[in-house]
Amino acid sequence: MTQSTNSSRGGRSRSTASVPAATPPVRPATAVDNGVALVLGGGGAVGIAYHCGVLRALEEVGGLDVRACRVIIGTSAGAVVGAEMRLGRSYEDIVALAGGDEPSTGLDALKPPPVMAPAWQSRADLYRRVVGSTWSVSRALFRIPLPQPPKAVQRLFPPALFSLDDEVWAAHGIPEEWPEGRLWLVTVDIDTGRRVVLKQPTSPAQTGTLRQGIAASTAVPALYPPVHVGKRRLVDGGVHSPTSLDLAARTDCGTVVCVAPMAFDPARPPGAIGAISRNRFNSQLDREAGVVRRAGADVLLIRPCGDELKLHNVNLLRRAGNEAVMHAAYEATAVQLSSRHAHQVLAPARAAQDAAFASRAAHVATSSPAAALARTAG
Amino acid at 371: A
Kindly report which listed range (155-164, 185-194, 270-279, 337-346) carries the lowest average pLDDT score. 155-164
Contacts of 360 (CB under 8 A, 6+ apart): none
How far is it between the farthest Cα atoms of the chain?
A: 84
Other CB atoms within 10 A of residue 156 CB: 12
Global pTM? 0.78
- 62/20: higher pLDDT: 62
Residue pair 317/42 in contact (Cβ under 8 Å)? The answer is no
pLDDT digits (tens, 9 = 90+) for 84-126: 999 999 998 888 877 655 544 443 443 444 455 566 566 776 6
pLDDT digits (tens, 9 = 90+) for 218-249: 888 877 888 889 889 899 999 899 999 999 99
Residue 189 is inside which H or E element, if any?
Answer: strand 182-189
Q: Where are the alpha helices (DSSP H) in 28-76?
A: 44-60
The pLDDT-based confidence of 367 (bands split at 50, 70, 90) is: low
pLDDT score, position 84: 94
The pLDDT-based confidence of 190 (bands split at 50, 70, 90) is: confident
Contacts of 363 (CB under 8 A, 6+ apart): none
CA distance 331 to 310: 15
Q: Does residue 11 sit in helix, strand or coil?
A: coil
The pLDDT-based confidence of 162 (bands split at 50, 70, 90) is: low
Burial 42-67 (b: 16+ CB within 10 A, else e): bbbbbbbbbbbbbbbbbbbbbbbbbe
Measured between alpha carbons, how far is residue 43 from residues 159, 188, 218, 316 in Å?
21, 16, 10, 6
pLDDT, mean of residues 151-169: 64
**Residue 366 pLDDT more than 80?**
no
- 299/33: higher pLDDT: 299
- 345/158: higher pLDDT: 345
